[in-house]
Amino acid sequence: MMEEEHNGNQPDNEGDTAMVALFVLAMILTAVLIEYVRTKKIEQPAEAAKPALADRFVVPRGFFLGKGHTWAELLTDGSVRIGADDFVQKLVGSVDGIEIIPTDGEIRKGAPLFRLRKRGRVLTILSPVSGRIVETNSSVLNHPAAVNRDPYVRGWIAVIEPTDISADLKFLAVAGEATDWLRKEVSRFRNFIKEQASKMLGEEQYATVGITLLDGGIPISGVMEKTDEQTWLAFEEQFLRDRSN
Q: Quote the domain boundaries for residue 39.
A: 1-50
Residues 76 and 125 both lie in one domain: yes
Residues 100 and 157 both lie in one domain: yes
pLDDT at 48: 38
Residues 118 and 185 both lie in one domain: yes
Residues 192 and 234 both lie in one domain: yes
List pLDDT tens digits, range 100-124: 998 888 999 999 999 999 999 999 9
Q: What is the mean pLDDT of the chain?
A: 80
Residues 238 and 186 both lie in one domain: yes
Residues 137 and 102 both lie in one domain: yes
Q: How many domains does the chain have?
A: 2
Q: Strands, E, within the chain: which ranges?
A: 52-54, 57-59, 64-65, 70-74, 80-84, 97-100, 106-107, 112-118, 121-126, 131-136, 158-162, 173-174, 214-215, 218-219
Residues 10 and 125 both lie in one domain: no
Q: Give the mean model confidence (pLDDT) for residues 63-67.
A: 96
Residues 170 and 180 both lie in one domain: yes
Residues 154 and 65 both lie in one domain: yes
Residues 7 and 107 both lie in one domain: no
List pLDDT tens digits, range 25-57: 555 544 444 443 344 333 333 333 466 655 578
Q: How confident is the model at residue 222 (pLDDT cuts 50, 70, 90)?
A: confident
Q: Give the mean model confidence (pLDDT) for residues 199-225.
A: 62
Residue percentage of the chain with pLDDT more than 70:
69
pLDDT at 84: 97
CATH number at residue 55: 2.40.50.100
Q: Give the mean model confidence (pLDDT) for residues 78-89.
A: 96
Distances from the Cα of 84 to the Cα of 153, 161, 179, 240, angstroms: 11, 18, 16, 10
In the chain the first and final C-alpha atoms are separated, in Å, by: 99
Residues 137 and 244 both lie in one domain: yes
> Is it the case that residue 131 has pLDDT exceeding 90?
yes
Residues 170 and 103 both lie in one domain: yes
